[in-house]
Amino acid sequence: MVLNECAARLGVSLRQTEDQLTRDMLASTAAFINCTAGVNGDNPTELTRSDVDDVVRALLGNNAYTILDNIEGDDKFGEQSAELKFSLIDLETVVYC
């Protein structure tokens, strides 16, 4: 009797664990969100900025992991490239003279 009750309890525990793992797996998979902010009248519509913002808001609200930190664009052109260009032009004039 004791072994039968233990086997039944282990079976229930196994199924509850499987249910929890399946629920967590399904909660972490990708879902779809229809685009609704477009102007073409279809459902789903074409992708617009507000649709992307809605998806980002939903992911961040559900504590989604980000792949990269935001990297702001920056103007990296300085005077060195101009100086290099002028020195190359000077070398060309020396070679051809």
- Structural domain spans, the chain: 1-29, 31-67
Whether the per-residue pLDDT at 92 is higher than 60: the answer is no
Name the strand (E) or helix (H) holding 57. Answer: helix 49-61
- 63-88 burial by CB neighbour count: b if 16+ within 10 A, else e? eeeeeeeeeeeeeeeeeeeeeeeeee
> Which 8-state DSSP code applies to residue 67?
S
pLDDT in tens, 2-45: 889 999 999 999 999 999 988 887 777 667 778 888 888 777 88
Q: Does residue 1 or residue 68 have the better pLDDT?
A: 1
